[in-house]
Structure 1
Amino acid sequence: MNLERQKAFIIHAAYITLILGLVYVSIKYFLPLLMPFVIGMIVALVFRPLIDLIHEKTRMKRSLVSIFILILFYSLLALLISLIGLKVFTYIENLFYRLPALYADTIEPAIRKIADNLILRFPEIEYYVEEFLENISVSIFDYLKTISSTVVTAITGFAGQLPALLIKFIFTIVSSFFFTIDYYRIGDFVMRQFKGERGKMVLRLKANGIGTLGKFIKAYSLIIVITFIELSAGFWILKIPNAFVL
């Protein structure tokens, strides 16, 4: 009996190890290649209720409704990226590029002023304050230079990857059109591969997964909107020009 239990344990352990290994290999090597299709399927899932609603209300062909919705979505996305994306990257790059100068022009003089006030009140600590200031100034300046160069290099490297990202984006668009137009055909084909309890389990997983994803998207969208409003209000109060664009 113990031998049978040991065999069963070894078989289960080997099975779990094999599954975990396959998942790891899939995520590491295959998921980046399949990501455009995964995103395309997610887009199809997200817009399915809206497309079905318009299809039922207007009696238009579902394929035409799908094409119209996706064209509208990607047009708005492209407009948003062209208006905001480039400006955000340029702003971040300039900000981090100016960090060392910002420290030298504003933060260091403020620290120097505080140190001078301390020396005036306590002249006996002048040597220690000067040594401390020299050490901390060098450390902070070097740290800011490192951060600045790292971020600028990362942004420059990202710009170099734009052609590859553009190709993936095109594949994502094409796959989302196919998945959205043939959503129910693909779903029926997949469900035919699972019968009985397996089919019910797949449906439960789908319902739970979509529900969780929807809540996740809603929560993060709300956080982004609230953060945008707070930052815009703060910039407006501080009278920063183009606050809402920033």
Structure 2
Amino acid sequence: MTRPQKEHLLLNLLLAGALVAAGWFFLRVALPGLLPFLLGLGLAVLIHPIACWMAKRGVRRRPAALLACLFFYLGIGGALWAVGWLACSQAVSLFSHLPQLWEETALALGAWLERVSRFLPRLFPIPTGQLMETLTQAGMSCLGSLSAAAMDGIAHLAAALPSAALALVLTLLSSVLITLDYNQVTGFLVSHLPRPVGEALLGSKRFLLGSMLRLCRAYFLILLLTFLELAAGLWLLGVDYFLAMAALIAALDILPVLGSGAVLLPWAAIELLLGRPSLGAGLAALWGVITLVRNVAEPRIVGQQLGLHPVATVTAMYMGLHLAGFLGMIAAPLLAMLAVFLIREGYLPTPPGKDRSPSP
């Protein structure tokens, strides 16, 4: 490594350290107070193309901005209402069948415990009654701990509701105000930045909007693949309403915190307890197939849509999931692709003697 390359590497390391320190300060100190306004700016960026489309068709600029905000939030509100109504109706239907389901489960569990009580003395020298009492006490203790944790979580949620409601109102209000004067607000922000930084931000905005559309397309393909797997598997297992069940489970499978296992595994356990081992084993096997296909196909599909190599995609997704959960898993491939874009366009420095066309 030559002396200019060493100096360039040292400068990049110092710059990276300064950026990490500034990012930590921003995330821990400035971001909580600025978050509603930053979210409002992000929403305004999404709403602005709708307002421009309406303005090109004869609507004046400010009324077009107001109508765009109205249609945007009506669309989001309608979608949330539809999802909430479906969830509530399904919950009501489930609760109406809970007594029958509980009775069947209790009978099956009692029969299973009776078989276990006849088998346990061969394995454990202690009396079966004492062992069952110990297991019952452990279960009640676990249930009490879960209830206490749930009540504590509900209390924290109730305490956070006022500040969350205020932040939501400020986010919506700031998005409307920024959309009304979008060009002035964004022009003011960009004019107070160094010219290269402003050009990089504008280029990054255009790039990220296109990348987000491609990312949505990728996860739609993953959702469709999971739905087809579920529909075929549930149909082969003879499950009633297999299309509706497949759609519900596929929607949950997008969320890594829940996933298809949140439905299929408890369902399989209940079927085993109810004395239907073939259906229970089939549901467990279906979950295994879906998980395997998802883990193999997701990096490839997302990488193809974003132009990233599957190794880079799965690395970015794992790091994002580890650092920031589900949102981090979604955002990390976009950030990786943004870094490639900034290097390719010359917004980020490269070592001397290297070209600006890194392979993604």
**TM exceeding 0.5:** yes
Matched, 1:61 2:60: yes
The 3 A distance-change label for structure 1 pair 67 and 123 is: same
2: CA distance, partners of 1:88 / 1:30: 37
Q: 1:75-133, CA deviations, whole angstroms, 9 ceiling, x for partnerless residues?
A: 565677789769979x99xx9xxxxxxxx988676444213124457865585654554
Contact 1:51-1:62 at 8 Å conserved across structures: yes
Residue type at the aligned position of 2:29: Y
What is the deviation of 1:25? 1.2
Higher relative contact order (CA 8 A, sep 6+): 1
Of 44-53 and 208-217, the range deviating more from structure 2: 208-217
Matched, 1:26 2:26: yes
Contact 2:44-2:178 at 8 Å conserved across structures: yes
Residue type at the aligned position of 1:172: T
Partner of residue 98, structure 1: none
What is the deviation of 1:53? 1.1
* Percent of residue pairs identical: 17
Q: 1:126-176, CA deviations, whole angstroms, 9 ceiling, x for partnerless residues?
A: 856545544443333333332333233323321222221121112112210
The 3 A distance-change label for structure 1 pair 213 and 41 is: farther
Q: What is the root-mean-square deviation in Å for CA atoms of aligned residues?
A: 4.5
Q: Give the structure-1-normalised TM-score.
A: 0.65
The 3 A distance-change label for structure 1 pair 118 and 20 is: closer
2: CA distance, partners of 1:82 / 1:137: 42
2: CA distance, partners of 1:156 / 1:88: 24
The 3 A distance-change label for structure 1 pair 60 and 200 is: same
Partner of residue 233, structure 1: 244
Q: 1:155-210, CA deviations, whole angstroms, 9 ceiling, x for partnerless residues?
A: 33212222211211121122101221222223333444443x55543333222222
Structure 1: stretches of 5+ with no match in the other structure: 96-103, 236-246
Residue type at the aligned position of 1:210: L
Partner of residue 153, structure 1: 152
What is the deviation of 1:23? 0.2
The 3 A distance-change label for structure 1 pair 133 and 51 is: farther
Q: Give the structure-2-normalised TM-score.
A: 0.48
| Higher CA-based Rg | 1
